[in-house]
Amino acid sequence: MKSQIFNRAISSRRKLKFLYGLSEVTLEPYYLSIDRNGKKVIFGRVGNSNEVKKFEYNMITNIKVLNSKRFSPIIPILTVLN
């Protein structure tokens, strides 16, 4: 069930709100994966920061898809100064 919610949010570019441990997280989900330890994880940008974080599925509860404006994924572009 979690995978369906996450896949729908990723494809429609909607933010998610969920509890991660004891903290409430607002996330712009980017992609789902399996880490080196074989655990299912989701990667995304937290809040308005530029940091992409990894969250383990087994720690995520109370998932809500927010009906806010669609977000646009940020792709970091490195500028090279000569």
Going from N- to C-terminal start, the domains of the chain cover: 2-65
Strand locations in the chain, DSSP E? 16-20, 23-34, 40-46, 52-56, 60-65
pLDDT at 82: 47
Task: Report how far residue 67's alpha carbon sits from residue 11's, in angstroms, rounded to the nearest whole number.
Answer: 14
List, for the chain, all residue ranges whose pLDDT scores fall below the cut of 70: 71-82
Say whether pTM exceeds 0.85.
Answer: no
DSSP, collapsed to helix, strand or coil, labels residue 17 as strand
| 25, 32, 73, 69 alpha-carbon torsion, rounded to 10° | -60
